[in-house]
Amino acid sequence: MEHHAKASVDSSTTIMGCSKISEDDPSTSSHASIKSKRRPKSRRLSKPLKPMTVTELEAFNKEQKKRGVVYLSWIPPFMAPSTLRNILSEFGAIGRVYLTPEDPAVFRKRKKFKKNRRKNYVNGWVEFGDKKIARSVAESLNNTPIGGSRRSRFRDDIWNIKYLKKFKWTHLTEKFAYEREIRETRIREALVAAQREDKFFRQKAELSKQLTKIEERKNKKKRKLSGDQKPENSVDSEENTRIKRQFKQKAVVKSA
């Protein structure tokens, strides 16, 4: 209670320029709209990382070699990573967990028509602290129901889990980095191609304007030399009225 009283006295606020109100009164704190004065957060300089010693590096590499990764080819609908961690942590120590989210187009469609905003995942990777435990978990749980309490919505779903031999978490991060690099290079190539096409189109459009101006000047000079002052659009009218094709017509047959 003393701690709560000190916090309420320290965090006093104002309402629309009126007198100060503390958070001791629950009626005012719950019903009144209080605008708290937020101070700008001071930027904390990140501390430089200390280099690891040889012994620490050897211990770290030894620990990484002990770890094992399992792959889940299918995730039950709307299962969160925290739920998956809680279920698998019963068998051994869990390190890192990564689940691949579904396609954004599928999520937008479900959100629009079914009003369902929950996240859904396609597949995932789970890192165990011991690769022996990871192997035994994958062999024992594969193609078996998840189980649990009767109220659990994942009780009747089937595990699809496989142990990845000689696979470490660094391989997964390298895979994602490689895919990201490929995606970025494709985007860059598409942008360069679009810029090249736009540049080519602009050059041809400018060349076409220059050629039309040259033709107009030539026609103007010809008209001046001939002494025939015709309007500028006379050339177009002549081309439109010019007969392009001639067909021989048969003689009219006279009725007897």
Find, among 160, 154, 113, the residue nearest to 141 by Cα.
160
pTM of the model: 0.54
Q: Whole-angstrom Cα distance, residue 215 to residue 208?
A: 11
How many other CB atoms are there within 10 angstroms of residue 249's CB atom?
A: 6
Please provide residue 69's backbone torsions phi and psi, each rounded to the nearest 5 degrees.
-120, 135
Q: Whole-angstrom Cα distance, residue 88 to residue 90?
A: 5
Q: Where are the alpha helices (DSSP H) in the chain?
A: 2-10, 26-31, 54-66, 81-88, 104-113, 131-141, 169-226, 234-241
Task: Return the CATH number of the domain spanning residue range 62-173.
Answer: 3.30.70.330
Residues for the chain: how many in total?
A: 256
From first to last of its 256 residues, what are the pLDDT tens digits of the chain? Answer: 444 434 443 444 333 343 333 444 444 444 444 444 455 555 555 677 788 788 887 888 888 888 999 999 999 999 999 999 999 999 989 999 999 999 889 888 888 888 888 889 999 999 999 999 999 999 999 999 998 888 888 888 999 999 999 888 888 888 888 888 898 999 999 999 999 999 999 999 999 999 999 988 888 888 888 875 555 555 555 555 566 667 777 787 777 6
CA atoms within 13 A on the CB side of 66: 11
- Sorted by where each begins, the domain ranges of the chain are 62-173
